[in-house]
Amino acid sequence: MNDPTRRILVGRIHGAFGVRGELKLESLTEPPGNLLRYQPWILRDAQGREREISGARARPGGKGLIGTIPGVEDRDVAEALRGAELYVTRGALPPPKDGEFYWIDLEGMRVANLEGVEFGTVAYVFSNGANDVLVVRGDRERMIPFARPDYVRELDFDSGRILVDWDADF
């Protein structure tokens, strides 16, 4: 599960800010300023082209960050990056503390309930505002609240299994 080359989406470019090539950045990290700690970025533009970016800088601004990327020095170049996504490899992230993990480390883990019914594997995890949710794909897609110990009873990273208290008919 813990593939150091696996890519993680950490941010997006929403367009130009001002006339000097600054960018409006959305950070998907917590806290948002951690986006800068995880470099180099792999920038994937709206056409799917990719390049590696190092040396980005940013400051808080409005609803996100205002940032600069080396080589982007005017509004037109910055605006052309609208919609680009920023990725890092899993290996660029610091190791989690004891008892902690990254959501991406859950992806691909097998999920079964207390009765032994296999549900499939974790496709991804998202937050709905109230709680985090495991999206499990197998014979069908299931959305299981990531609430420990209420629904998620065991996480076994060594065997790649998650045990849940969840009805197979849900």
* Structure token pair of residue 112: 């079964």
Instruction: Give pLDDT tens digits for 121-149.
Output: 999 999 888 889 999 999 999 999 999 99
Across the 170 residues of the chain, what is the mean pLDDT of every consecutive 10-residue run? Answer: 80 96 94 91 94 95 93 95 95 87 92 97 91 96 96 96 95
Nearest partner of 72 among 134, 22, 135, judged by Cα: 22
- Residue-level pLDDT at 118: 97
- Residue-level pLDDT at 17: 96
In degrees, to the nearest 5, what angle opens at C-alpha 35 toward C-alphas 45 and 162? 95
The residues pairing with 142 across neighbouring beta strands, listed in sequence order, are: 136
Please give the single-letter amino acid code of residue 91.
Answer: G
Q: E-strand spans in 84-151? A: 85-89, 110-113, 118-127, 132-137, 141-145
